[in-house]
Amino acid sequence: MGSDWERVWDLLDRARNIIAFTGAGVSTGAGIPDFRSPGGLYAQAEERYGVPYPEALFDIAYFQKDPRPFFRFSRDLLRSEAEPGPCHRLLARLEEEGRLSLTITQNIDRLHRRAGSRKLLACHGSYDRARCRGCGAFFEPEQFEPVLLAGEPPRCSCGGVIKPEVTFFGESLPPEFSRLAAHPPEGDLLLILGTSLTVQPACLLAADLARRMPAVLVNRDPTPYDGLMRAVLTADVDAFARRAEERLG
Ligand code: CNA
C-alpha cells in the first residue's frame, strides 16, 4: 500500500500536463450523495423522489412520462449549500499553476467551476442551459431556475417542458465529449478521482486515456479498469487531496 502512495507522489511531483477525470465521489464529502454507495442516490430515489426504479430519475423515456421526480432532485441539488471540497480545490490549484490542462467531470453539481476550474468538460452536461422538449427553444438559467428551485417542471410558452441540458440515460453526450473522444488530449498523468467507472461512454474515454498515459485512480471501491492503472489508491479522495495539497506546499 505504502508503495502505491509513493508511486502516486512520484508521478504527481513530475507531472506537468495532468488530465483529471472525476465522478460523484469528489462531492460526497460536500454532502452530495453519489449514485452507487450505500445511502447514495440510488438507494433513496424511490422513496425520496417517487420513481418506480432508481435509474428512472435520469431516464429520458421516464422523463417524457413524468418529469417531476427529476425536478425534485434538481431542486435539492441546486439548493444544497454544498461547497467545493479538497479535490475541487486541488484540481483548480493545479490548473492555476499551469500543471493541469483539463478536468473532465461526470458531475453536474457545478462544484469544479465554483472552485475555480475553467479548463473543464462537463461530459454529462449541466444546468447552465436548458431546452424546451416541445419546440426546441433554448433557455438561460435565469429564465428557468426560479421555477426549478421551487421544484416544479419549468414550461415554455408552447407548453413543452424545459429540460436542463443534463445528459440522461438514452441521450447523447454533449458534442464536446465526442470531439474529445475522437481526438484524445495528450498528457503525462491521468488522475481519476471518485468514480465507479461504470457509466458509458464516459468510462470508455477514461479507459482510453489510461492506455495513453500513466494513470492513477483514487476511489473507495474497485472499478472494472483498475488493471489499467499505474497505481490504485483505495482511499478517501478528500484524504488524498489534502495530502497532495500538503506535499505541494
Ligand atoms: P457512482 O457510480 O455513484 O460512483 C461513485 C464512486 O465514488 C463509487 O465507486 C464510490 O466508491 C466512490 N466514492 C464515493 N465517495 C468517495 C470518497 N469520499 N472517496 C473515495 N471514493 C468515493 O458515480 P460516478 O460518478 O462514477 O457515475 C457517474 C454518474 C453519477 C454521472 O452520470 C453523474 O452525473 C452522476 N452523479 C453526479 C453527482 C454530482 O454531480 N455530484 C451526484 C450523483 C450522481
Q: What is the mean pLDDT of residues 195-221?
A: 97
Q: In this predicted structure, what is the pLDDT of residue 226?
A: 98
25 lines ligand 1 (CB under 6 A): yes
Give residue 41's Cα distance to chain centre: 14
Give pLDDT tens digits for 165-189: 999 998 999 999 999 999 999 999 9
Alpha-carbon torsion angle 243, 245, 246, 249, nearest 10:
160
Q: Separation of 156 CA from ligand 1 center, angstroms?
A: 32
Percent of the chain predicted with pLDDT > 90: 90
Picking from 37-41, 65-69, 96-100, 139-143, which range would have the lowest pLDDT averaged per residue?
37-41
Report the predicted TM-score, pTM, of the whole model to 2 decimal places: 0.95
Cell of 221: 471501491
22 lines ligand 1 (CB under 6 A): no
Residue from 26, 35, 234 whose mutation best tests the ligand 1 pocket (most atoms within 8 A of CB): 35
Closest ligand 1 atom, residue 202 Cα? 28
Backbone φ and ψ of 161, nearest 5°: -80, 135
Sheet of strand 100-105, all strands in order from the earlier edge strand to the far edge: 120-122, 100-105, 18-22, 189-193, 215-219, 231-234
**Is residue 124 flagged as an active site residue?**
yes
Residue 2, pLDDT > 80, answer no
Residue 5, pLDDT > 90, answer yes
HEC string for the chain: CHHHHHHHHHHHHHCCCEEEEECCHHHHCCCCCCCCCCCCHHHHHHHHHCCCCHHHHHEHHHHHHCCHHHHHHHHHHHHCCCCCCHHHHHHHHHHHCCCEEEEEECCCCCHHHHHCCCCEEECCEEEEEEEECCCCCEECHHHHHHHHHCCCCCECCCCCEEEEEECCECCCCCHHHHHHHHCCCCCCEEEEECCCCCCCCHHHHHHHHHHHCCEEEEECCCCCCHHHCCEEEECCHHHHHHHHHHHHC
Residue entry with cell 484524504: 239
- pLDDT, greater one: 1 or 148: 148
Q: In this predicted structure, what is the pLDDT of residue 80?
A: 82
Give pLDDT tens digits for 57-102: 999 999 999 999 999 999 999 888 889 999 999 999 999 999 999 9
Residue 1, pLDDT > 80, answer no
Q: Separation of 38 CA from ligand 1 center, angstroms?
A: 11
- Cα separation, 226 vs 219, whole angstroms: 10
Closest ligand 1 atom, residue 237 Cα? 19
Name the average pLDDT for the chain.
95
Residue from 22, 26, 34 whose mutation best tests the ligand 1 pocket (most atoms within 8 A of CB): 34
Residue entry with cell 438561460: 140
Name the band, by pLDDT with cuts 50, 70 and 90, for residue 152.
confident
Residue of 20, 17, 12, 16 whose CA lies nearest to 246: 12
